Structure 1
């Protein structure tokens, strides 16, 4: 479990996050949602240590991340997998090399062990026999799956996904959502997904934190979000024409 307590963050004179608290449970797909500029990505960066909040705490299974010394933080970071919005694949490396990179960096595995692990996670995301292809030779959806394979190639406890469906067609988006949820359950990891995709919210939102103007104004899940009674959240949910029609039918 990851817990955030009273997180506040500013850049210069502009405050982005205001006293945010919440618990992201292990074995669940935990979503942080909200419109553009509401602080979703800033909160995620605070959780992983890329941003340092002025106030508050971040706890990884009870371990105080922000107060940890260099060695303790390094250990916690070894337990983290990241799926980036832009994939962040190395264009000069083939798929096998991209996925193997965290193993090269963080483990003492020999080459055969690393290759076995790479093949295992590529198979898990449905990408057998693409090892020698270059990122430029595969589709956007496949790149996301490579990114997910790389994120889980180590023995992780925490998985972070920043807008994993960005730029994908609906079918590829659904596949990525399903893979994230399946892997979360199989590995029993604490997964946090930042998204504004309502298909993801309704499909895999086992816990949802909704941010508005840098504040945590609602928490729930996909079963309760459509009847939240929170006006700002309802405006966000029913912004699209399809969702407006759904709203009238409720």
Structure 2
């Protein structure tokens, strides 16, 4: 579990995060939702320690991370896996070498142990036998899978995904969403996904935090997000015509049910 407490951050006098608090639960896909420029990525960087908040703190499973001793912060960082928006694979390394990289940097595993772990992770993401391929030989979806394999290789406790569906076709995006959710539940990881994709919300949004102009305006699940009374959230959700049509159908079905069973 990750907890954030009253996070504030400004750049050059401009407030980007304005007192955000919340809890990200273990074994669930926790989504940071909002339009571009609402502070999602800045909040993610504050949580993982790439940016220091002006005010506020972050705890990982009860251990303070912000402003703690360097050795404690480093120990927490060893448990963090990152899936970057562009996958961020090393172009000059093979798939195997990319996945092995954090094991070489963060563990004292022997070469044979590292390769066993690499093969296990590649198999888990559906890329068995792709060890010798170069990133230039991979599709966008395959690159994301390699990125996920690399992120979980060091027995990750906390997984952070920054716009994991960026640049993918809808079908591949759904498969990546499903893979992230499966791995989160299977290994009981605390996963935080930055997204503006409503498909991801509907598919994997166990818990959702909606940010607007640096503030947390709403928090809930994919089951109750359609019934929010937060104007800014509704404008974001129903900007898509398909979502507006789905909401209209839902309202019509509820009205019909009420007419048929007025006392229910």
- Could you say whether these structures have the same fold, taking a TM-score greater than 0.5 normalized by the shorter chain as the test? yes
Q: How far did 1:229 drift?
A: 1.3
Q: Which residue of 2 aligns with 1:27?
A: 27
Q: Please list the CA deviations of residues 13-59 of structure 1 after superposition, one character each: whole Å capped at 9, or x if unmatched.
A: 10100000000010110000001100000000000011111100100
Q: How far did 1:249 drift?
A: 1.8
Q: How far did 1:179 drift?
A: 0.6
Name the SS of the counterpart of 2:74 in structure 1.
helix
Superposed counterparts of 1:154-173, under 5 Å: 154-173=154-173
Q: Which residue of 2 aligns with 1:85?
A: 85
Q: Which residue of 2 aligns with 1:69?
A: 69
Q: Which residue of 2 aligns with 1:241?
A: 241
Q: How far did 1:247 drift?
A: 2.3
Cα distance in 2 between the residues matched to 1:144 and 1:157: 19
Cα distance in 2 between the residues matched to 1:52 and 1:46: 6
Q: Which sections of structure 1, spanning at least 5 residues, go unmatched?
A: none
Structural RMSD (CA):
0.6
Q: Which residue of 1 aligns with 2:53?
A: 53
Superposed counterparts of 1:97-108, under 5 Å: 97-108=97-108
**TM-score between both structures, scaled by the size of structure 2:** 0.94
Name the SS of the counterpart of 2:90 in structure 1.
coil
Cα distance in 2 between the residues matched to 1:6 and 1:154: 30
Cα distance in 2 between the residues matched to 1:108 and 1:22: 35
Q: Which residue of 1 aligns with 2:232?
A: 232
Whose radius of gyration is greater, 1 or 2? 2
Cα distance in 1 between the residues matched to 2:147 and 2:58: 25
Cα distance in 2 between the residues matched to 1:228 and 1:65: 33
Name the SS of the counterpart of 2:203 in structure 1.
helix
Name the SS of the counterpart of 1:26 in structure 2.
coil
Name the SS of the counterpart of 2:127 in structure 1.
coil
Name the SS of the counterpart of 1:229 in structure 2.
coil
Name the SS of the counterpart of 1:108 in structure 2.
coil
Does the alignment pair 1:176 with 2:176? yes
Superposed counterparts of 1:203-222, under 5 Å: 203-222=203-222
Q: Please list the CA deviations of residues 144-202 of structure 1 after superposition, one character each: whole Å capped at 9, or x if unmatched.
A: 00000000000111000000000000111011101100100011010000000101001
Q: Which residue of 1 aligns with 2:16?
A: 16
Runs of 4+ in structure 1 off by over 3 angstroms are none
Cα distance in 2 between the residues matched to 1:36 and 1:96: 34
Does the alignment pair 1:5 with 2:1? no
Does the alignment pair 1:44 with 2:44? yes
**TM-score between both structures, scaled by the size of structure 1:** 0.99
Q: Which residue of 1 aligns with 2:94?
A: 94
Cα distance in 2 between the residues matched to 1:106 and 1:58: 22
Name the SS of the counterpart of 1:73 in structure 2.
helix
Name the SS of the counterpart of 1:175 in structure 2.
helix
Q: Which residue of 1 aligns with 2:145?
A: 145
Name the SS of the counterpart of 2:56 in structure 1.
strand
Cα distance in 1 between the residues matched to 2:201 and 2:72: 33
